């Protein structure tokens, strides 16, 4: 996917529908932007994490102030919370982020990152997630080995009962963990994939 209604000028990296309003779609991009669209109305942009930077143009341009959409590192994965108040993301700088989307569709057009330490700690412990595809975060700390060198997890997915987490990696392996898996070096089962590098994984609807 390259763009949604020309909203993104760079490739879209992940898409997830709202838990209770299936016409609302969240999208992450290589530009580091998290944006939410209404798919019923030609993918109207409802809210964005884009920061506006005002730069004074050269005097001869006569343009005055210039507004530029800015992001951070590419957002590679995203998940909605069950109550649709928060979205969690992984980015290309190996950071796990939380975003306040409580006012999306209710007159709010700006998506803000949650950085308050106490709020983040509360989200880690108390938030129920609609899905889980992030490879970083409190509930998947068990993916990190205690002694071995991390090989890198390409993708993760939790089954419908939220009891089992599947992950895949660049070594061609599929791992199954209990979910949540919060302690580094968690026990798991390992299976060989069908290629040297397994890039993604999903459970079927019936697990």
Please state, in angstroms and rounded to a whole number, the distance separating the CA atoms of residues 9 and 33.
10
How far is the C-alpha of 26 from the C-alpha of 78, rounded, in Å?
A: 8
pTM score, two decimals?
A: 0.83
State residue 141 phi and psi, 5-degree precision: -65, -20
**pLDDT of 61:** 47
Give the pLDDT of residue 140: 94
Residue at token pair 């019923």 = 40
Determine the pLDDT at residue 6. Answer: 52
- Residues in the chain predicted with pLDDT less than 50, given as ranges, are 1-2, 52-70
| Residue 1, number of CB atoms within 10 A of its CB | 11
106-151 pLDDT, tens digit per residue, is 666 789 999 999 999 999 999 999 999 999 999 999 998 876 555 5
């Amino acid at each position: 996917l390259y763009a949604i209604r020309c909203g993104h000028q760079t490739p879209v990296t992940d898409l997830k529908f709202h838990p209770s309003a299936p016409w609302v779609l969240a999208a992450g991009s290589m530009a580091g932007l998290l944006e939410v669209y209404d798919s019923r109305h030609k993918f109207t942009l409802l809210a964005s994490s884009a920061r506006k930077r005002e730069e004074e143009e050269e005097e001869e341009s006569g343009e005055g102030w210039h507004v530029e959409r800015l992001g951070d590192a590419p957002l590679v994965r995203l998940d909605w919370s069950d109550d649709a108040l928060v979205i969690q993301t992984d980015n290309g700088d190996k950071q796990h982020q939380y975003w306040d989307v409580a006012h999306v569709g209710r007159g709010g057009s700006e998506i803000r990152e949650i950085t308050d330490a106490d709020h983040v700690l509360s989200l880690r412990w108390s938030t129920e997630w609609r899905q889980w595809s992030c490879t970083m975060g409190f509930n998947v700390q068990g993916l990190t080995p205690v002694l071995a060198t991390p090989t890198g997890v390409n993708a993760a997915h939790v089954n419908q009962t939220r009891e089992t987490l599947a992950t895949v990696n660049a070594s061609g392996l599929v791992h199954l963990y209990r979910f949540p898996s919060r302690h580094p070096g968690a026990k798991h089962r390992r299976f060989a994939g069908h290629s040297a590098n397994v890039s993604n994984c999903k459970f079927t609807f019936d697990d």
